[in-house]
Amino acid sequence: MNARTRAWVASTALCLTALALGRPDAQAADHIDAPLASSETAADLTDFYAWHQGDRIVAAIGFAGLDVPGSEGDVR
């Protein structure tokens, strides 16, 4: 392996490492982790799924999770 190839491999590895380590962390609340979720259960988003279907984006959202068994719930 000549010096030019080694330099290209090293710079590519450095760029990939910077991309992997320099990305922002994902921050989200899930299942009553958010401070206001316990007081307003209808605002508690539990799951969010999105995918492509043809030329459209389909989304499925779950909310008001972790209800106590036997309770009537608080969804309006």
User: What digits encode the pLDDT tens for the residues 11-24?
Assistant: 998 888 887 777 66
Residue 45 falls within a domain, yes or no?
A: yes
Residue 20 falls within a domain, yes or no?
A: yes
Residue 70 falls within a domain, yes or no?
A: no
Residue 71 falls within a domain, yes or no?
A: no
Domain residue limits at 50: 3-63
Mean pLDDT within 52-72: 80
Residue 25 CA, distance from chain mean position: 10
* Residue 60: strand pairing partners: 49
Residue 76 falls within a domain, yes or no?
A: no
Kindly report the pTM of this predicted structure.
0.37
Q: Total domain count for the chain?
A: 1
Residue 40 falls within a domain, yes or no?
A: yes
Residue 74 falls within a domain, yes or no?
A: no
d(CA 10, CA 31): 43
How many CA within 13 A on the CB side of residue 30? 5
